[in-house]
């Protein structure tokens, strides 16, 4: 008779089968799953995590001191199915010597593709055009109707030239981008590959035709895109954010879009998520909002789920994780 596994993991959502199977087949643990496509209610999270040795969570689960206390001293590993980790109270986690796994790299291509798609859709006004076709607003070919902004000969500014920022730059360059500017905490040697010029944020904002935000959310970047930020941008510039909603002050963005301070904005991320359907930004033709689908390809989500499960299992057994966050 084989011994029952003594380690227990709590999984906060139904994740792609590839990942779930790895956990369910693992001999080292038993799995409690919040078996739904919708987020686990807070009370269920606090209950589910009680006494768990491992926690597999998503970016929509706030893992703070309350959750860690509810889990208790057994908890040795948290594995998030995301590269962003702003939903984790890192200081509290570190204090308790809990290891963290995350999913860098495997979603970079999918997210960069979506960023380019959103940029083009916003700059060339695709949602407006589609709506006009459906509503009968398309009366004829007209010289200035639905004109937007093109990438050829443009200056693109990337805020945060990390994995995704660089992958976006790589994809945009072949559209004929003339200058690729970037800002961040320090120059990046890998910027050479895209002829990236490291500039102060203010110069990036003044000179760019397209401003793409690809940085992580941190106390330093929270609310970075505010009134002063938008005021420095060109009135013809397009703003794109696929990082986290909280990097943007949405009231200031609304003001910039309605006052003609900037031309248009494309957002894959908002505060809150989901954005209420009566939110003022959704009434604007020059604002394109997507429901946080940067990494949403079938294959990417499957790979993310597997990596998340493997990180969790490695953390449980004290082995090296495929992708461990350095705390």
Residue carrying the six token digits 């970037």: 182
Q: Per rule CB under 6 A, is residue 115 in the interface with ligand DGY? A: no
Rank residues 48 and 184 by Cβ distance to ligand NDP and give the closer one. 184
Out of 12, 122, 154, 221, the residue judged to bind ligand NDP by CB under 6 A: 221
CB of 59: closest distance to ligand NDP in angstroms?
8
Using CB under 6 A as the criterion, what x/- string covers residues 191-220 for binding ligand NDP? -----------------------xxxxx-x
Options 53, 87, 279, 292, the catalytic residue: 292
Mark whether 292 is an active-site residue: yes
Q: Per rule CB under 6 A, is residue 232 in the interface with ligand NDP? A: no
Q: Per rule CB under 6 A, is residue 101 in the interface with ligand NDP? A: no
Q: Name which of ligand DGY, ligand NDP, none residue 59 binds, using a CB cut-off of 5 to 8 Å depending on partner kind.
A: ligand DGY
- How many of the chain's residues bind ligand NDP (CB under 6 A)? 31
How many Cβ atoms from other residues are within 10 Å of residue 275's Cβ? 18
Three-state SS letters, the chain? CCCCCCEEEEECCCCCHHHHHHHHHCCCEEEEECCCCCCCCHHHHHHHCCCCCEEEECCCCCECHHHHHHHCCCCCEEEECCCCCCCECHHHHHHCCCEEECCCCCCHHHHHHHHHHHHHHHHCCHHHHHHHHHHCCCCCCCCCCCCCCCCCCCEEEEECCCHHHHHHHHHHHHHCCCEEEEECCCCCHHHHHHCEEECCHHHHHHHCCEEEECCCCCCCCCCCECHHHHHHCCCCCEEEECCCHHHECHHHHHHHHHCCCCCEEEECCCCCCCCCCCCHHHHCCCEEECCCCCCCCHHHHHHHHHHHHHHHHHHHHCCCCCCECCC
Q: Name which of ligand NDP, ligand DGY, none residue 159 binds, using a CB cut-off of 5 to 8 Å depending on partner kind.
A: ligand NDP
Q: Name which of ligand DGY, ligand NDP, none residue 104 binds, using a CB cut-off of 5 to 8 Å depending on partner kind.
A: ligand NDP
Q: Per rule CB under 6 A, is residue 301 in the interface with ligand NDP? A: no
CB of 319: closest distance to ligand DGY in angstroms?
23
Rank residues 83 and 305 by Cβ distance to ligand DGY and give the closer one. 83
Out of 56, 71, 107, 240, the residue judged to bind ligand DGY by CB under 6 A: 107
Q: Which residues are catalytic?
A: 292
Using CB under 6 A as the criterion, which residues of the chain lie in contact with ligand NDP when the complex forms? 83-84, 104, 107, 111, 159-165, 183-186, 214-218, 220-221, 242-244, 268-269, 292, 294-295
Using CB under 6 A as the criterion, which residues of the chain lie in contact with ligand DGY when the complex forms? 59, 82-84, 107, 294-295
């Amino acid at each position: 008779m084989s011994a029952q596994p003594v380690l227990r993991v709590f999984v906060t959502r139904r994740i792609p089968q590839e990942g779930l199977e790895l956990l369910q087949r693992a001999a080292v643990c038993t799995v409690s799953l919040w078996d739904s496509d919708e987020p686990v209610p807070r009370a269920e999270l606090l209950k589910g995590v009680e006494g768990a040795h491992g926690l597999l969570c998503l970016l929509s689960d706030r893992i703070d001191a309350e959750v860690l206390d509810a889990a208790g001293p057994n908890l040795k590993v948290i594995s998030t199915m995301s590269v962003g980790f702003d939903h984790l109270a890192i200081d509290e986690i570190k204090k308790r010597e809990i290891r963290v796994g995350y999913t860098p790299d495997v979603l970079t291509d999918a997210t960069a593709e979506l960023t380019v798609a959103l940029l083009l859709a916003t700059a060339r006004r695709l949602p407006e055009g589609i709506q006009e076709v459906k509503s009968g607003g398309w009366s004829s070919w007209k010289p200035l109707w639905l004109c937007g902004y093109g990438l050829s000969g443009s200056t693109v500014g990337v805020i945060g030239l990390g994995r995704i920022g660089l992958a976006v730059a790589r994809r945009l360059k072949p559209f004929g981008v003339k200058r690729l500017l970037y800002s961040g905490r320090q120059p990046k040697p890998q910027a050479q590959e895209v002829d990236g010029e490291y500039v102060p944020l203010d110069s990036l904002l003044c000179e760019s035709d397209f401003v793409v935000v690809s940085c992580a959310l941190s106390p330093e970047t929270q609310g970075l895109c505010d009134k002063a930020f938008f005021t420095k941008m060109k009135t013809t510039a397009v703003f794109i954010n696929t990082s986290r909603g909280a990097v943007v002050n949405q009231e200031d963005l609304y003001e910039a879009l309605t006052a003609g301070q900037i031309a248009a904005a494309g957002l894959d991320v908002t505060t809150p998520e989901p954005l209420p359907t009566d939110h003022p930004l959704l009434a604007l033709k020059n604002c394109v909002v997507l429901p946080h689908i940067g990494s949403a390809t079938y294959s990417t989500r499957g790979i993310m789920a597997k990596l998340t499960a493997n990180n969790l299992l490695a953390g449980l057994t004290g082995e090296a994780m495929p992708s461990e966050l350095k705390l």
